[in-house]
């Protein structure tokens, strides 16, 4: 058994996360998670890898709108309903359609992060899926995450990492959707499924980590970097990177909700 210690949703990819008491699952993952994306003039996606100041953009899902706040700017309200001019965007090797939210929104976001950017929205009929190399027979639709619907982390793994670090870092650096407690450190490496009531998540691929883990999620500044420490004991030769947490897909429970504090049943790989 394990517990759902924390739940997070990231409406705008690479902007501030929202801690939730409960979240509803939709086909692409958590409701509203990574439904909005910041892109450059060519349609290429932007994240805290190159624009750490995105961490200072604070989203809120309020009634019928996404409300965005950033230091020095008036709040911006963006309708939740999918609308806008259809454009093509790129996320890693994926090319997909998106809805451009117009000049006013682009101007606000550009001022917020100090670069000329645009904000796009996931269309209702978006056709992007997680890599079948790891999902197998399951076709797992996604919005704008790096690659998978849900990211699962383990609080004991962070405690193990922080015991090796010169300075402890918070879990928010790893931008998980679900944080589990009650498991040994790095037990997630061997987990097959996590059952949370009617919801079943299958863990399919270790999450390789990048410079975002060194970014303070409140200030947008680069600070303590865990990657050198992780590289000493978490380097994955197959993926050619350091790993922390596991990417997951939803195998049952779309339309159901996960509640913070819920008990989980965990099964391990044979």
- The one-digit pLDDT tens for each residue of the chain (270 residues) are 899 999 999 999 999 999 999 999 999 999 999 999 999 999 999 999 999 999 999 999 998 999 999 999 999 999 999 999 999 999 999 999 999 999 999 999 999 999 999 999 999 999 999 999 999 999 999 999 999 999 999 999 999 999 999 999 999 999 999 999 999 999 999 999 999 999 999 999 999 999 999 999 999 999 999 999 999 999 999 999 999 999 999 999 999 999 999 999 999 998
- Cα–Cα distance for residue pair 5/180, rounded to 1 Å: 5
Integer Cα distance of 113 and 56 in angstroms: 8
- Count of beta carbons in the 10 Å neighbourhood of residue 253: 17
Which domains are present in the chain? 2-29+130-268 (2.40.33.20), 34-121 (no CATH)
pTM for the whole thing?
0.97
Enter the tokens of residue 199: 């919801």
């Amino acid at each position: 058994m394990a517990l759902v210690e924390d739940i997070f949703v990231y409406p705008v990819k690479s902007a501030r996360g929202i801690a939730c008491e409960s979240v509803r699952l939709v086909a692409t993952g958590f409701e509203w998670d990574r439904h909005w994306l910041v892109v450059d003039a060519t349609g290429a996606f932007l994240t805290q890898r190159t624009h750490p100041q995105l961490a200072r953009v604070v989203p809120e899902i309020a009634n019928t709108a996404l409300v965005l706040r950033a230091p020095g700017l008036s709040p911006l309200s963006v309708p939740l309903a999918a609308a806008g001019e259809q454009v093509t965007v790129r996320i890693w090797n994926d090319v997909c359609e998106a809805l451009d939210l117009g000049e006013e929104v682009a101007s606000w976001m550009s001022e917020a992060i100090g670069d000329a950017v645009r904000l796009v929205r996931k269309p209702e009929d978006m056709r992007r899926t997680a890599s079948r190399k790891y999902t197998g027979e399951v076709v797992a639709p996604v919005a704008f995450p790096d690659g998978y619907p849900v990211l699962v982390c383990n609080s004991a793994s962070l405690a193990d990492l922080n015991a090796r670090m010169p300075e402890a870092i918070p879990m928010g650096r790893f931008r998980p959707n679900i944080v589990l407690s009650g498991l040994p450190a790095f037990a997630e490496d061997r987990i097959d499924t996590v059952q949370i009531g009617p919801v079943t998540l299958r863990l399919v691929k270790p999450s390789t980590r990048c410079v975002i883990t060194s970014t303070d999620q409140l200030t947008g500044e680069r600070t303590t970097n865990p990657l050198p420490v992780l590289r000493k004991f978490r380097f994955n030769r197959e993926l050619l990177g350091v790993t922390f947490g596991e990417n997951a897909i939803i195998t049952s429970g779309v339309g159901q909700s996960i509640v913070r504090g819920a008990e989980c049943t965990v099964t391990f790989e044979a």
